[in-house]
Amino acid sequence: MTMPLMRPPRKNPVLRTPQINLPPSARGRVALALTAAAAEGRFVLQTCADCSAVQYPPREACYRCLSSRLPWREQAGRGRLLADTTLHHSNDLYFRERLPWRLGMVQLEAGPSLMVHLHAAVGHAPCAVRLGARLDRSGQAVLIAFPEHDEAHMADDRMLREMTSDPHHRKVLVTDGKTPVGQALVRALVKAGAELVWVGRAEAWKKMPSSDELTALPQVSWVPLDVTDGRSVAELAGEIGGKVDIVINNAEVHRSFGISARRGTDVARAEMEVNYLGLLRLAQEFGPALKGRSADGAAHATAWVNLLSIYALSNFPAHGTFSASKAAAFSLAQCLRAEMRPAGIRVVNVFPGPVDDEWNQQMPPPKLAPEALAKAVVSALRDGVEDVYPGDVAQEWLERWRSNPKVLERELSLSGG
């Protein structure tokens, strides 16, 4: 049984700041597909295209027939715990600081036997379990055995919390609270147990819908933040940067039309100023602060979330300059992820389809409700994934883009979506 997580004690400011130790990250190239799937919350294994053998660990050839045709296929993860043990000593610095640590040998129904981490709610062998893949703090896939059925407080497991970014008992910055998405994010984070949610507001004099409702929540604190103003970003980072555990950058400017339907560059410049340069300013000011607090115990700084768009993968001509700004932000987010990984900070990129807001009024359903998008962000933090594609439209675009990006580009240019 997993015990509920109590509020972590506040850090003693007199004590030195500990440095992060990451788990071993050496993996062969053949295993990268396992990590890529885990980044999206999926558990895959190599399955021989010739003899259907499922194998682990990953290899260049099938262990049964030596075929080199080994596509990765999603697995149900059902299995049986054959043996378990508790590690009380380790020469590795990462595990030494986190002992005791449970491990076990699991026989999958699909065939292979695997050495895995054990969730605290898993009993002793023999018992039924289900396997899942998660990213550890070094950004590599690891396998975890969960109990056959979920129990209360599953996310509060000490080992699982180390590998995820659950907002429970953490302090979060939402960069824009004036939009329906921003307000839905704040409500979802409070419901998820966030200790404090700072909500950015660029124009404090403007009366915003639902602002009174959010202000009444004891966990919510409004802060001045204009991502187009480097001074505003720097001042807020100086005030709260050393306290933030999760940054959610949802600030964006979204306008329709492409290139020839609007003269001048003012709109495109405004989109780039917020969607791309706004992210850059935030990363320069808040990034070092998060990296410096990545080893602060149970409530360490843990994640950075970027609200992008599925249009970042392939330009949607009806929203052409917006798509271009999100593509630029996506590229910048990949750089941010590479720089944050050595500190164990997870960068989560969210690629929603069209959201049901003022800029997508003319688009037919299905559209993503702000509440559904906020729920997807919280779930991504709890599951420890890196890339999220919420909504039916985003899932369809992703499938078409992976199948053939050129075909998707041509379809979008001919049909408008």
Per residue, the 3-state secondary structure of the chain, as one string, reads CCCCCCCCCCCCCCCCCCCCCCCCCCCCHHHHHHHHHHCCCCCEEEECCCCCCEECCCCCCCCCCCCCCCCEEECCCEEEEEEEEEECCCCCHHHHCCCCEEEEEEEECCCCEEEEEECCCCCCCCEEEEEEEEECCCCCEEEEEEECCCCCCHHHCHHHHHHCCCCCCCEEEECCCCCHHHHHHHHHHHHCCCCEEEEEECCCCCCCCCHHHHHCCCCEEEEECCCCCHHHHHHHHHHHCCCCCEEEECCCCCCCCCCCCCCCCHHHHHHHHHHHHHHHHHHHHHHHHHHHCCCCHHHCCCEEEEECCHHHCCCCHHHHHHHHHHHHHHHHHHHHHHHHHHHCCEEEEECCCCECCHHHCCCCCCCECHHHHHHHHHHHHHHCCCEECCCHHHHHHHHHHHHCHHHHHHHHHHHCC
CATH 3.40.50.720 boundaries in the chain: 171-415
Hey, what CATH topology would domain 171-415 get?
Rossmann fold (3.40.50)
Q: Would you give per-residue pLDDT tens digits along the chain (417 residues)?
A: 566 666 666 666 666 667 788 888 777 888 899 999 999 999 999 999 999 999 999 999 999 999 999 999 999 999 999 999 999 999 888 888 889 999 999 999 999 999 999 999 999 999 999 999 999 999 999 999 999 988 887 888 888 888 889 999 999 999 999 999 999 999 999 999 999 999 999 877 677 777 778 889 999 999 999 999 999 999 999 999 989 999 999 999 998 888 887 788 999 999 999 999 999 999 999 999 999 888 877 678 889 999 999 999 999 998 999 999 999 999 999 999 999 999 999 999 999 999 988 777 777 788 999 999 999 999 999 999 999 999 999 999 999 999 999 999 999 988 654
pTM over 0.75: yes
